[in-house]
Amino acid sequence: MAANEFSETHRVVYYEADDTGQLTLAMLINLFVLVSEDQNDALGLSTAFVQSHGVGWVVTQYHLHIDELPRTGAQVTIKTRATAYNRYFAYREYWLLDDAGQVLAYGEGIWVTMSYATRKITTIPAEVMAPYHSEEQTRLPRLPRPDHFDEAVNQTLKPYTVRYFDIDGNGHVNNAHYFDWMLDVLPATFLRAHHPNDVKIRFENEVQYGHQVTSELSQAAALTTQHMIKVGDLTAVKATIQWDNR
């Protein structure tokens, strides 16, 4: 296996699933991040090593395609590849496979390094990138952006206060929590009858401890939902989700 690829097995447990026993979207993201963190550790790129360069990895965008979400007790394989990078951006891919090797879900993400001093994007340190043996490219794949959020169409709002336990090691909200906030606006009857098939999400601004956020939903079509997380008038996250019947 190339140094820029890594995989591991995992058993889906009850606290990763919803009340139907199916893996949640937030937990799928957690598994994708977990396998990339384990790859980092295997390559000697511990969190402490990365932070010693004054930076932390931050995702700016995901695109996910999901054929099926596994159920509690399922044995799955999580795989990732640090595919390509340039001076400021790194492109990473993810796969979730069943015990027969069939792809259940595929994800791609754009990552950057954030300076802890300025809280802004900074050049990726060479020492942090080199162990992946990724391909250096001038232009990385362009991920599809979320569709336009139409505030005039069937809009629903729900407020949240950012808790201490929502925060990750970079000092802002763990990305998986955004998925819970977005989906929680939808009725339980809808969530029990559907599963996400295609997800386009873009992270635009940090959300930190104590912030008051609003999860906004716009649904013009039966199986397409538009989502936005805001702090006051500032947009933190935008997403478009296509759904399938379970």
pTM for the model stands at 0.94
Predicted confidence (pLDDT) per residue in 68-96, tens digit:
999 999 999 999 999 999 999 999 999 99
Find out whether 56 and 115 touch, Cβ atoms under 8 Å: no
Q: What is the pLDDT of residue 27?
A: 97
Q: Specify the pLDDT at position 129.
A: 95
d(CA 208, CA 205): 10
pLDDT value of position 169: 85
Distance CA 34, CA 56 (A): 15
Residues 6 or more apart from 98 whose CB is under 8 A from it? 70, 74, 75, 76, 77, 104
> Which pLDDT score, from 0 to 100, does residue 192 have?
96
- Encoding tokens for residue 167? 């925060």
Ranges of the chain with pLDDT below 70? 1-3
Instruction: Report pLDDT for 2.
Output: 54
Place of tokens 């559907």: 194
The C-alpha atoms of residue 24 and residue 30 are separated, in whole angstroms, by: 10
- Cβ(206)–Cβ(236) under 8 Å? yes
Phi, psi of 200 (to 5 degrees): -120, 120
Q: No. of H helices and E strands in the chain? A: 5, 12
* Phi, psi dihedral angles at 172 (to 5 degrees): -135, 180
Other CB atoms within 10 A of residue 235 CB? 15
Token pair of 15, please? 């606290």
